[in-house]
Structures are given as C-alpha cells and as structure tokens.
Amino acid sequence: MKYVIEPGGRLSGDHRVPGDKSMSHRAVMLGALAQGTTEVSGFLEGEDALATIAAFRSMGVPIEGPVDGQLTVSGVGLSGLTPPSGPVDLGNAGTGMRLFAGILAGQPFDSELVGDVSLMKRPMGRVIEPLTKMGAVIAAESGGTPPLLIKGGQPLRGVHYDLPMASAQVKSCVLLAGLYARGRTSVTEPAPTRDHTERMLRGFGYTVDHVNGVIGLDGGGELTGTQIDIPADVSSAAFLMVGASIAPGSDVVLRHVGMNPTRVGVINILTLMGADITVLEPRDVGGEPVADLRIRYAGLRGIDIPEDEVPLAIDEFPALFIAAACAEGTTTLRGASELRVKESDRIAAMAEGLNTLGIDNQPTPDGIIIEGGRLGGGAVNTYHDHRIAMAFAMAGLCATQTIEILDCDHVATSFPGFAELAARAGLKLVAYP
C-alpha cells in the first residue's frame, strides 16, 4: 500500500483515535495470567495487539473477541499456560516479543519467539541480559536478534537490575519474569518511562512498590481478573496534534486520550514549541488519567528539546520531526539513541525523508538537528515503519508539492483506519493498494 498526499488542507472535527497499543498488549497478557475473567473495552484491533491475542490462544487461553474494541479473556493463572504447537509469531510487535520473553522465561516448557522481517532484525540482548541474570536460558542469533529460543523449567531468582537506558519494555520484561521468580525482583531506571505495567499489575491486585526510583515486586503472588477501559493512544493522537498545529485554520478535538504522566512528552514538547493545546475534562478511568484535547493552529518555533522529555515522547518523535520541519528556526534533539533501534532506524529514516522534501537536517548518533523550512514533495521510503508513514502523511498539510509515501501496510499495526480518519479530518490523502 502507498499513500499519496496532495498539498494543503487543514484538520477539523471531533475524533477518537484507536486504543493505546501499550495498554492493549498488557491487558491481554495480564488477563491471560490472571485467575478469573478480564473484560477489556477500548482494545486496539491493530496487528501488533492481535498477534498477542493469537500467541496466548496458541498457549491455551480462551479469548473472545475483539468486537468493536470489546474483549473477554478467561485467565488460566500464572501456571496455566500450555506449550504452543510451534513458534510463537509476534509479527511486527517489538513490545510483544520483549514482554513475552519475560513471561515465557518462567514457564516449564520450551518456546520460540519469532516475528516478521523487521522484528527479526531488532536487538533483544537488552532483555536477554537481565533474564539470564535471573536464571533464564535464552539463545538468539549473533547480535542478539530473534528467533529467541527459551528453555523451559529454569528456576528464576529475583534480582535487582539497573537499566542501562530508559526502556519501559525492558523494565516490564523484568517485572513480568519477577512474577515467576523466587524472592524480590526490582529495577532502577535512569529516567521515568511509561508505567502502564506497574499500574495494570496493581489493577489486577498485585502489589508493586515504587520507592526512590526503585520499582519492585515479590514473586509467588496471584493476579485476579478485572475490568479495563483502554484510553485512546496518545502516540496515535500525536499525528493529528502535529497536523493541527502546523496547518493554518486547523481546529480539532481528540476524545478520551490517555494522559499518563509518563507518556505526555509530545504534549509538553509541542507546547514548548508554541502549540495551542487545551486539555478538556481531565478525569481518571480505571487508574489511568484521560482527557479530551483541543488543538488549534499555531506558528511553531524551533527549540532545544529537553533531554528529560525524551523518554516521555520516544514513540512520538517521527511526528515531532515534522513539527520541527514546519517550525521557524532550529530544533535540536539529543539523548534519543533509542530511536536507532525501533521498527526502523527512525533518525536515519526521518532524515532521509526530510531531505527528500527539501528540509535541511543533520543526524547525530543520538538525535538530529532540523532547520525549519518550506516543504516540497517527492517519494518517501518508510522502511516498513508505521510511524514514519503517518508522520510524512501529516507533512502534506504544509507541503508545496505532492508527497508519495511508499510501503504503508504496517500502519495497521498501531492505527487501523488511519487513512480514513485522517482524510475525514481534512488531510488530502488517498491510499492505493
């Protein structure tokens, strides 16, 4: 699939983007490992989250749905999973693979984790290292890439692990393995990262401590089925936030957006750039803060992005790079080396696309310097990355020529219906199979 975006337009209307991908993964995982039934609403019916459902079904977990975001998981308990008949295929889901590694490290049976071409190139050493310290036995390709062969029946022991870089996926992997470990498992993170795992574990009745930057739990407990209402994904909302901020005349409302304080870096950064974002009706839903957001056009200015905001916006930087390209002046990003090992090397992929559109930029090992300017047009390669595709789609709002975005199939991993919603909001986008 490819997108063709004609220049111009503005965003308007009242919209709700799909459910949060991170929370959708975790809701299924913890629901499967709980005793009793878990009812989920707002579930993201994207390919990544559906792969997590398929994986648990292959290990004997009854799951009904999803239908219109509604899902019922009949949990089998922490010790109730059964051996899959073959490799567990997680498609494009890096989150899924890293979190499953923690869960499967504590099982009595052998397992193998695989994925699509993109996922099979992503580094998994960052979870293999702490799991090995806990007693897991995991084999991978040279360089730590999948497939991951996980040996069953290994007694895990609780450890304390200092995360070498801020990563919610690694933190969550270690905590999930800690459910199966003897004694206490804890992690220290160098900067705050999304805390959906900790919040959701508590929602399932499991005690998780967070004291002086150390997050820990004791093994041997039990999860209890519950009800979960998943808010709209702020990572998906980010594209429309940026689009409305850069297109003159835009005025858009986004409903029921997750406002977890570990995820609002994109709002903080856009506000620093001069964006006009109003938070409406902040409220708490199932332990997670949510709100409606109104975004109106504002002339953005380039900034030095504060490094303490980087972990809070790590998935939103492709969209933020487009904001920087449309801003007046220079935007500088540092401390974001994590972007090099996402679904693509997002720094390199975005730099290449910005060059195609005539925007001066200078990639660095851990960031990029972007000079705001006038966007042209051309063909952009997404490198199989859903967020690259959606970011450059929004660039069309400020472009002077047509933008053609190649290889957009992976958009469905996180934002099914993106092309239709974006066109309905006012983006001049046509999707071609």
Instruction: Give the residue numbers annotated as catalytic, written as ranges.
Output: 315
Tell me which residue of 378, 352, 379, 375 sits closest to 363, measured CA to CA.
Answer: 352
Q: What region, left, alpha or beta, does residue 177 occupy, with left being phi > 0 and alpha being psi -120 to 50 degrees?
A: alpha
d(CA 200, CA 74): 17
Mention every residue, 6+ apart, whose C-beta is less than 8 A from residue 335: 307, 310, 366, 367
| Type of residue numbered 192 | P
Cα distance between residue 101 and residue 175, in whole Å: 11
Nearest Cα to Cα of residue 202 among 124, 262, 286, 122:
286
Query: Using alpha carbons only, what angle is made at residue 389 by residues 387 and 395, rounded to the nearest 5 degrees?
Result: 105
Query: CB under 8 Å to 212, separation ≥6 — which residues?
Result: none
Report the distance separating Cα 46 and Cα 26, nearest Å. Answer: 14
DSSP 8-state class, residue 334: -
- Burial letters for 301-315: b for 16+ Cβ neighbours within 10 Å, e otherwise? ebbebeeebbbbbbb
Rounded CA-CA distance 152/22 in Å is 26
Measured CA to CA in angstroms, residue 58 lies from 44, 88, 133, 140 at distances of: 20, 8, 28, 22
Closest CA to 336 of 346, 325, 344: 346
Helix (H, G, I), strand (E, B) or coil at 291: strand
The alpha carbon of 328 is separated from its chain's Cα centroid by a whole number of angstroms, namely 29
Query: Which candidate, 2, 6, 9, 1, places its Cα nearest to that of 243?
Result: 9
Residue type present at position 33: L
Q: Do residues 96 and 54 touch, judged by C-beta distance below 8 A?
A: no
Identify the CA nearest to 244 among candidates 13, 2, 3: 13
Buried b (16+ CB within 10 A) or exposed e, 284-294: eebebbbbbbe
Amino acid at 41: S
